[in-house]
Amino acid sequence: MLNIQRLDLNHISWCLDILTSNFDSPWKELDTIFENSANRVYGAFIEGEGVGFIVISTILDESEILMCAVNPQYHKKGIATDLVKHSLKDLKVLGVVAAFLEVDTHNLAAQGLYKKFGFETVGQRKQYYRQPNGSYHDAIVMRLSIR
């Protein structure tokens, strides 16, 4: 059974493990995420094992999903969907009216996940994600109205 709960700095190690197993150039400064009071970090657990997490930053009535990652062994099991769903419910309670995110133009799975919740493309950031070979991928900017 999946359990979603708020995370703190004590969870940074397994969050970093999940990031590095998913992304070629992960954001390694996770301590700054946990230390920022504007951020909420939720983790998904199965039988006590951390299998995924999501980070949301909120300023006034707007939020941004900064990252969402799931252990590759648990991909395609609905964990990212559950993390997004849980987070959006929380944002609604907090009075957030809009959520934003950036997603790699090559990450079709993530784009599909966010579209399932009603996120719409509102822009693009050129050469946003640096690749290991030194090239860059563009990012799609997506927005969701929360009511």
Q: What is the pLDDT of residues 52-74, one digit of tens each?
A: 999 999 999 999 999 999 999 99
At residue 33, the 3 state secondary structure works out as helix
- The CATH number that applies at residue 70 is 3.40.630.30
**pLDDT value at position 63?**
97
| Local confidence band at 26 (pLDDT 50, 70, 90 cut-offs) | low
**pLDDT value at position 31?**
75
Decide if pLDDT at 25 tops 70. Answer: no
Distance CA 68, CA 76 (A): 14
Put simply, whether the predicted model's pTM sits higher than 0.75 gets the answer yes
Pair type for strands 98-104 and 62-70 = parallel
Q: What is the pLDDT of residues 80-119, one digit of tens each?
A: 999 999 999 999 999 999 999 999 999 999 999 999 999 9
**pLDDT value at position 12?**
87
Decide if pLDDT at 139 tops 80. Answer: yes
Residue 109: both structure tokens together: 């799975």
Total residues belonging to the chain: 147
Q: What's the total number of domains in the chain?
A: 1
| DSSP single-letter state for residue 140 | E
Distance CA 99, CA 61 (A): 9
Residue 72: both structure tokens together: 């590759």
